[in-house]
Structure 1
Amino acid sequence: MKIAAFSGVFLDYSIHQAMAYTQELGLDGIEIACKEPHLSIETSCQRVEEIKNLSKAFHLKIPALAGYLGWFSTSSDKECEKSFSEFQQILKWANILESDMIRVFPGGPNAFLAADYHYEKAAYWLKKCAEKAKEYNKKIALEIHNMSLVETVEGGLKLLNKINEENVGLIHDAGNMYITDTDYGKDSVRKLGRHLLHVHVKDEKRIDKAGASGTFINLTKHGEEKFLQCKLGEGKVNHQPLFDALKEVAYDGWISLECASPHPPKERLAHDLKKVRQMLENVTETNNYTVN
């Protein structure tokens, strides 16, 4: 397993500085957030080439481009066309940057509020994205994310079944799944099987009052709940079963560190990297599990 920084952690810095910090920390790569000042549809082709050269100079792979586009399920047809056009631009950037996958959001509402037509509409446009991505030999990654159609493994697999394209899969995110209050341990990895493309890691915990730095409010099946973003091990998300399962299924992809706790970016990434390495060392050996 290879470990990357999520560049969104460093959005207050240039992509050059984000890569420099990522290298200093000893990470293998950087997942680039498709937000200014790092990368966007407005970025020039020349600048994208410069970013590619920077990544090579820092000896960093770019496993994924974290797009913020999509939201097809609740958008108008005109908005979907615009988002699809933006996707095609990011796809060109992925090709230049030698990145294997692009994150696309299917949209909402929360899975427990969604109707079949939400899945149908999202699937229609995501299939178009997948077909275009095939031209570049790229994959579409849907993040298991709270307040979306794919806030559970089951919701993700339901949507994948409707898209029915081999180059579309899911990003496992235990932090998001904790918010949703769905299983994020061994069984979640087993159920994803071959559809697991990528892994995000961050920690959070439920709190009584929001408003302070690092806190937020989210709608879950329990109503509006309050959360605090934490460093790994300081929240309530137990990642050890996840790493045990990743070892069990012989996962050889990437893990991106997404920590958004209210601490300096480099400090919180250094902390989380240390914790992840400890958990990987503490993996419980189990019988090999066959991925279907």
Structure 2
Amino acid sequence: MKLSVFTASTPDWEPEQAAGILAAQGWDGVEWRIVDQADATPPGFWAGNRSTWPLTGLEDRLDDIARITRDAGLEFSGLGGYANCRDHDNVERMLAATSRLGARQVRVTMPGVPSGDYRETFATTRSDLEWIEGRAAEHGVRALVELHHGTITSSASAAIRLVDGLDPERVGVIHDLGNLLIEGHEDFLAAFQMLGPYLAHVHVKNALWRATDEPGFDGSVIWRNEWAPLRSGQANVEAYFEALHEHGYDGWVTVEDFSTELPLEQRTADNLAYLRAIHERVTTRHDR
């Protein structure tokens, strides 16, 4: 198992700084965020993120991405793309970039839950993925469908319905611990078994639900979700690694921690130490 960081979660650092710090801390790889974004001061996770490469002009920056990653001694766990599956032109660009960089796999985003007929959106998305499957094969890479709240693939059950029958070497699924706390949670091991060969990548973050001051009907409590540190969110990270081990998953685990309780450099270092300790506990328990 190898550990990497998705740079959506490192907004304060320029790419060379991010790569250098992550490598010095001992991370195995990096998952670069690639998207056109709004400016923001100070930088944030979703706007003004300094560790993000713009989609506009991406092809002219691929040599820089490769050099910065290589010179730091990091591997690519994949690319964190935002091209929607219906945007065939930009999906094609992301697949080509993934191939040129040797990054092997790239996220392609799924439609949100529609206001109209879910079944129609689902069928259209399946057609898009069949096209993407062919293009991914042409480029020798894999497109990834993320389990994400608010989309048509918020659970493993939904994702396997969408990708079943496609080549798992060309279309895979990202299982995301934190997203599933918000929507789509299923038993960890059952979900991994359900996905089978389509389980291609893992994202780890944590979240929790808090009661708000918003009044509900007749005194009912209204809850909202927020991101939390890996150690203090509601998800049992050790149980998650236990299920991954039992399933035999030995691929990349990418951290995207959107909590802000700790300063960024301390946060990434602590996350690495925490996950390595959990991984060692799990493997030691099974090796006895």
TM (norm. structure 1) is 0.83
- 1:282 alignment partner AA: R
- Per-residue deviation, 1:273: 1.4
1:258 equivalent in alignment to 2:256: yes
Task: Give the 3-state SS of the residue equivalent to 2:254 in structure 1.
Answer: strand
Task: Give the 3-state SS of the residue equivalent to 1:227 in structure 2.
Answer: strand
Residues 148-227 of structure 1 mapped to structure 2, 5 A cutoff: 148-161=151-164, 164-166=166-168, 167-180=170-183, 182-209=185-212, 225-227=223-225
What residue ranges of structure 1 are gaps of 5+ in the alignment? Answer: 73-79, 212-222, 288-292
Seq. identity, %: 24
Q: Does structure 2 conserve the Cα–Cα contact (< 8 Å) formed by 1:175 and 1:204? A: yes
What residue ranges of structure 2 are gaps of 5+ in the alignment? Answer: 37-49, 215-220
Match of 1:58 in 2: 72
- 2:166 alignment partner AA: N
Match of 2:110 in 1: 106
Match of 1:32 in 2: 32
Mark the CA change 1:286 to 1:116 in structure 2 (over 3 Å): closer, same or farther. Answer: farther
- 1:10 alignment partner AA: T
Match of 1:220 in 2: none
1:276 equivalent in alignment to 2:278: no
Mark the CA change 1:184 to 1:270 in structure 2 (over 3 Å): closer, same or farther. Answer: farther
Task: Give the 3-state SS of the residue equivalent to 1:62 in structure 2.
Answer: strand
Residues 63-78 of structure 1 mapped to structure 2, 5 A cutoff: 63-70=77-84, 72=85
- Per-residue deviation, 1:242: 1.8
Task: Give the stretch that moved more between structures: 54-63 or 36-45.
Answer: 36-45
Task: Give the 3-state SS of the residue equivalent to 2:16 in structure 1.
Answer: helix
Mark the CA change 1:236 to 1:98 in structure 2 (over 3 Å): closer, same or farther. Answer: same
* TM-superposition CA deviations, 1:11-40 (whole Å, max 9, x none): 332211111121122100001111355323
Q: Does structure 2 conserve the Cα–Cα contact (< 8 Å) formed by 1:178 and 1:184? A: no
In 2, Cα distance between equivalents of 1:88 and 1:253: 25
In 2, Cα distance between equivalents of 1:254 and 1:110: 31
In 1, Cα distance between equivalents of 2:154 and 2:2: 25
Mark the CA change 1:44 to 1:65 in structure 2 (over 3 Å): closer, same or farther. Answer: closer
* TM-superposition CA deviations, 1:262-281 (whole Å, max 9, x none): 14322222222122112112
Q: Does structure 1 conserve the Cα–Cα contact (< 8 Å) formed by 2:114 and 2:121? A: no
In 2, Cα distance between equivalents of 1:239 and 1:85: 38
Task: Give the 3-state SS of the residue equivalent to 1:86 in structure 2.
Answer: helix
In 1, Cα distance between equivalents of 2:176 and 2:58: 31
Match of 2:242 in 1: 244
- Per-residue deviation, 1:210: 8.8
- Per-residue deviation, 1:231: 1.0
Q: Does structure 1 conserve the Cα–Cα contact (< 8 Å) formed by 2:79 and 2:106? A: yes
- Per-residue deviation, 1:181: 5.1
Select 1:43's aligned residue among 35, 51, 57.
57
- Per-residue deviation, 1:209: 3.0
Q: How many residue pairs are counted as aligned between the two chains?
A: 264
Q: Does structure 2 conserve the Cα–Cα contact (< 8 Å) formed by 1:157 and 1:192? A: yes
Match of 1:126 in 2: 129
Q: Does structure 1 conserve the Cα–Cα contact (< 8 Å) formed by 2:5 and 2:254? A: yes
